[in-house]
Each structure stands twice: as C-alpha cells, then as structure tokens.
Amino acid sequence: MFRSAGGRSAIFGRSRRQVQISRRPVLGAIAAGFVMSTVPVRAEARTLKGQVVYRERMLLPPGAVVEVKLLDVSLADAPARTLAEARITDARTSPIAYTLRYDSSQIEPRRTYALQARIVEGDRLLFINTTRHTVFGGGQDGGKEGGEIQVEKVGGDQAEVPPSASPVGRWLAEDIRGGGVIDNLQSVVEIATDGAVTGSGGCNRMRGQATISGTSIAITPLASTMMACPPAIMDQEGKFMAALEAARSFRIDPQQRKLFLFDGAGQTVLRLSAM
C-alpha cells in the first residue's frame, strides 16, 4: 500500500486533518482555563464564634481586655501573620464569648491557621493559650465555630509563684513556635542553678547564660559547636536556639512537668517537658 504516491498523499492528508480537528478542543480547554485563572477570588465576610475560658475562680480586674486573633502560622521560623482580631473590653469572668470577623479570601489551601487568645491589663499579660488552637483544617474555610480556647495564667504577681516553679533543670523541646518538632530528634536545654545554659539543638552542643527574676528570663546569645548535619536537623536546631534567645518570660506546669517560654509579645516560642 506504500507503493502509490497517491496512497501516501491520501494517508498523510487524513492525518493532518485529524490533528487539526483534535487540536481545537485542546486549545479551547486551555483558553477556558486561562479565563478561569484570571477570575478573582470573591471576598466574603465570615465569623468565628466561641468562648475564652480559664480555670481560676476569679474576676478580671477593671480595665482587663480579652484579645482573640486569627493567625497564619504556616511558617514556623517567621512571626505569625494576624488576619483578624477581636477585643472584648467588658469581660468580668470566665467564660468569655467572642465573635471574630475575617475575610474568607485570605484563607488558602495548604496553609495553617490558629486562634490566639490573651487577657491583658495595660502592658501586663494575665492569661494566654499555651497550646495551638487550629482552625480551618487543611486551609479549608469550612466552619463558623472557633470553639473553646483554654487560656493559662502567666506571671503576674511574683508572690503567687511557688519556689519550685523554676526553669532550672533539663528540658526536652516538644514544640517550637507552634510548628512541632522532628520525631526522634532531641533538642535539649539544661539550666543550672547559677543560670548556666547548656544543651544540644540535635546536632551541635551549645552554651550560654540565663538571667532569671520571678517569671522573667533572658538568655544571652548562645555559642555552639560547628558540626554539619542534614538540613532538616540544622533547621530545627536553628529555630530552637533562636526561640531560647527570644524568651522573655516563662511558666511552669508542675502537674504536667512542662516549661513554657514566651517572647516579649507574650507569644509561646517553646514548649518543653522535664527529662
């Protein structure tokens, strides 16, 4: 059948026409996809509702303010980005209802979002949530309930802090800035009675000095050895050391044997367990 030039011409002619016909729906799909990709995401105002609660049986002091924030906490090595905030100025005691209004167009797939609750009196931090309160699982903006946010009392009155509530000891990192830690990798810090700080980020040894007064803590820039480890280990080690240096206050949970470190803004930078 390949002997005839006419036969070859007919076959090739049919092939060209078939390619031209089949190309049209493909081009149409591409054009439709381009048009769809240029359509902006429609913004929609939505709300999250819930309660802020604390365990203590006490009235809040006059002038206390309850703050609830919706945060983008996707990047563990960068400050959380505030997407929305609610302030309650007339709260007296737990539970405290909140309504948080936000723009749904800011919620993106594959990002992580959480609520933060604080109770402040002027510049003094009274309560804060010490565990992550995640919302929008998988970045899906699907719910209207923010739920109950448990807040813990932090250092206010030094007389209320028992002598045993001290960061002195050996501690293992369980969470760094809300981003978790690598399984089977130990980032450890040990604080001596004289304030000497030693430990390991998981690869390198480190040392420094801590100044502790009441519930305040300040750790000098840490010196460390210079070994090289896999990138993931080095990444966690860098975040661990940076979090230690950012700490400005602490809280001890004696029942759970946990140490919480907070930065100057009252954000939890480290959660550690006693070893």
> Residue 208 sits in a domain of what CATH number?
2.40.128.270
Indicate whether 125 and 181 sit together in one domain: no
Kind of pairing, strands 96-103 and 124-128? unpaired
Task: Determine contact, residues 149/52, Cβ cutoff 8 Å.
Answer: yes
pLDDT of residue 235: 94
Task: Determine contact, residues 103/40, Cβ cutoff 8 Å.
Answer: no
pLDDT of residue 50: 92
Q: Which residues of the chain carry a pLDDT beneath 50?
A: 1-23, 26-27, 29-39, 139, 141-142, 156-164
Indicate whether 67 and 146 sit together in one domain: yes
Indicate whether 217 and 261 sit together in one domain: yes
Indicate whether 198 and 217 sit together in one domain: yes
What are the CB-based long-range contacts (under 8 Å, 24+) for 223-229?
A: 227/203, 228/203, 229/202, 229/203, 229/204
Indicate whether 58 and 103 sit together in one domain: yes
Indicate whether 107 and 187 sit together in one domain: no
Indicate whether 179 and 85 sit together in one domain: no
* Beta-bridge mates of residue 47: 101
Residue identified by tokens 């049919």 is: 14
Give 101-133 pLDDT, tens digit per residue: 998 888 888 888 888 888 988 777 888 887 778
d(CA 223, CA 237): 13
Distances (CA, A) of 185 to 79, 176, 229, 275: 24, 13, 12, 14
Nearest to 94 by CA among 147, 55, 145: 55
Indicate whether 111 and 200 sit together in one domain: no
Indicate whether 54 and 128 sit together in one domain: yes
Distances (CA, A) of 273 to 67, 86, 134, 168, 170: 28, 32, 22, 12, 9
- Where do the H-state alpha helices sit in the chain? 5-37, 231-246
pLDDT of residue 155: 60
Whole-prediction pTM value? Answer: 0.46
Cis peptide before 95 (omega within 30 of 0): yes
Q: What angle do CA 101, 107, 113 make, to 5 degrees?
A: 85
Indicate whether 132 and 168 sit together in one domain: no
Indicate whether 93 and 183 sit together in one domain: no
Indicate whether 26 and 110 sit together in one domain: no
CATH number at residue 111: 2.60.40.2990
Range of the domain at 203: 161-274
d(CA 234, CA 201): 8
Distances (CA, A) of 195 to 18, 130, 155: 80, 24, 19
Per the structure, the count of domains in the chain is 3
CA-based torsion, 140, 146, 147, 152: positive or negative: positive
Kind of pairing, strands 205-213 and 216-219? antiparallel
d(CA 52, CA 44): 25
Domain boundary among 99, 134, 153: 153
Domain boundary among 153, 184, 202: 153
Question: What residues contact 125, with CB distance under 8 A and at least 6 apart?
Answer: 118, 119, 154, 156, 249, 262, 266
Domain boundary among 102, 121, 153: 153
